[in-house]
Chains A and B, each alone.
Chain A
Amino acid sequence: MVSLTTHVGSLELANPILSASGTFGHGLEMKHFVAPDCLGAWVSKTVTVVPREGNPAPRIRETEAGFLNSIGLENRGVAAYIAEVLPSLRSLKVPIITNIGGESLEAFVEAAELLSGFAEIAAFEVNLSCPNVDGGKLPFATDPHVAESIMASVRKVTDKPLFAKLSPNVSRISDMAKAVEAGGAHGITAVNTLLGMQVDWRSGRFGLATRMGGYSGTAIKPVALRCAYECVQAVEIPVIGCGGISTASDVLEFLAVGCSAIQVGTASFSDPGLLSHLAQDVANLLAENGVDQVQDIIGRVNQVPARA
């Protein structure tokens, strides 16, 4: 039996596979396709204190090798999350990570304050990096000082583990990683979507109503892998890899660069049942290769001498 157990800060996860925020519902909506214990942890769609209607349609477009979205963090707010979602998560064994967002530092803090008392929540993922608010300006994801102060302020109002979700749309992600570590993050999720665009030259129309949106899926895997690697190199806290992962081999690549766990997003749209067997696929692949614990793969690229 291959051991898939992994640790992200103080969280022990039965396997390193998590759902990515915004691609797997707020609670356990996907349990018809994926039994709760198939995942190391379930990550909620971003919740904000103030309900958000989201952006106008069209909000999604498929492109040559990936997926563009401009959902705009549609959600019914923290109060509705507490009333309608949290009760359905009681007495679950698998950890729930609640992803929180906000339009200002105060809004992040308030979301964490309102949710901190709930035992159903194992940790917070702080979404510093949604490209679909404020016209893609990414106010919290590009300035290390802002990111650090958000993490530090949220840190003050909760004892739960905090993971900072970073954007790839920066010139040096290692600076952002160091900043959130200094702010008190227990871990980093790398990465959110890349800012992208689609146009139809015949009609002169943009694919998305907001013109720009977040690009995800297979196409972004090399970018995400590089970002995750740079974060691992820059900080001591654990890194959760995310971006373009759809196979067991993809999972192990992110672990090999030093990630402690990974998240799967867009690939669940190709097959909503993917995450019901991905952990088993990883175990099988490791077994075929004579590896008996997933821990042995984590950071492997640093253990192999560089090519001469």
Chain B
Amino acid sequence: MAAPPPDATSQLAQVASIVPCGSDGVLLRVIPRTPFGPLNAGRFFMLRRADGVGPLIPRPFSIFKQEGDSIEFLIKVIGPGTQALAGAAIDSDLTLIGPLGNGWPEIAPEPVNIMLAGGIGSAPFYELIQSKLAKGAAPESLLMIYGAATRGFLYDLEAFEQLGVRVLSTTDDGSHGFHGNVLQCLEAEWAAGRVSESAQLMACGPEPMLKAVGRLAEERKLKAWLSLESYMGCGVGICNGCVVATRPDGELGSWPNAKCCVEGPVFANEAVRL
């Protein structure tokens, strides 16, 4: 029976800062009333304005940074929910539900961990890289390939570049970095022998990208984990709205659906069908 994570709470959090980021994003930093201890990278929170402005249903956002008592989200503004959050007043309250979901699995530093981020899909990687380094991973054991349609959607690229691991950036239109998508960039790295062809992949981004990563991992028999996005109602496992199709022989068991919010959002590639 999928239940909400035991550490999840529903509480108010005060908006500490909202800073524009990229061409359509914001960095939203909040201070929860009851602070959290260190949270697993890749987990998420549901957010909604406490004054009721904006949609009825909170929206899910990955933890981007956790520093002291504050939690920062990297948000691409695309519709009513994200607009309402981006327009919140400093010091105003948000309803913060979480932490939710599983987050990235603990995996060995060998073979090399390659993180593939598409646009706003970079958000769950910052803390992942930080925590791996903090736990003693060698910077060479980590590679991030961060791609987007154009430079304006490479949100807070500088922050990633300052982490001290190799970060390759790519754009579909060639406005920055490698001209092409993240997988073309990865293939080019492999072809040039700059990174080991035996690798472990972690990916977050738009669905076509995740599908392509899944296929590539299968073809090359690489381990891969995908952070999936699904439309969420409750975020805590009770509405059955966020289902992802599972593979009958996968680690999630024979039931044809998994709940993205509690069994994910990170899934092993061979456990799900995109």
Contact = CB atoms under 8 A, between A and B. Distances in A.
B231 A25 contact: no
Contact of A57 (B2, B58, B238, B243): B243
Nearest to A73: B240
B6 interface: yes
Interface string A148-160: 0000000000000
Nearest to B10: A273
A172 to B, nearest CB: 30
A268 B234 contact: yes
B231 A74 contact: no
A85 B56 CA distance: 30
A30 B48 CA distance: 20
A24 B95 CA distance: 19
Given A25-B237, A26-B1, A29-B1, A57 B230 contact: yes
B56 A266 contact: yes
Interface residues of B, number: 34
A171 interface: no
Interface in A43-77: 45, 53-54, 57-62, 65-67, 69, 71, 74, 76
Interface of A is mostly: loop
Interface in A161-184: none
A26 B237 CA distance: 11
A217 B10 contact: no
B78 interface: no
Contacts of B243: 54, 57, 59, 74
B10 A33 contact: yes
A74 B238 CA distance: 11
A217 B56 contact: yes
Contacts of B3: 25, 29, 32
Interface of B is mostly: loop
Nearest to B81: A62
A245 to B, nearest CB: 13
B10 A60 contact: no
Interface string B1-33: 111101011110000000000000000000000
Interface in B226-271: 230-234, 236-245, 255-257
A29 B231 contact: no
A12 interface: no
Contact of B257 (A24, A27, A53, A272): A53
A103 interface: no
A23 B95 CA distance: 19
From A29, A71, A266, residue with most partner B Cβ within 10 Å: A29
A70 B3 CA distance: 21
Contacts of A61: 231
Contact of A271 (B8, B55, B95): B95
B97 interface: yes
B1 A62 contact: no
From B11, B236, B244, residue with most partner A Cβ within 10 Å: B236
A106 interface: no
B57 interface: yes
A58 B256 CA distance: 15
Given A62-B56, A66-B56, A270-B57, A29 B10 contact: no
A284 interface: no
Contacts of A62: 55-57
B208 to A, nearest CB: 16
A284 B217 CA distance: 58
B239 A54 contact: no
B234 A272 contact: yes
Interface of B: 1-4, 6, 8-11, 48, 55-58, 95, 97, 230-234, 236-245, 255-257
22 contacts: A29-B4, A29-B236, A29-B237, A29-B238, A30-B4, A30-B238, A33-B4, A33-B10, A53-B257, A54-B240, A54-B257, A57-B231, A60-B231, A62-B55, A71-B240, A74-B243, A84-B1, A268-B234, A269-B57, A269-B58, A270-B95, A272-B4
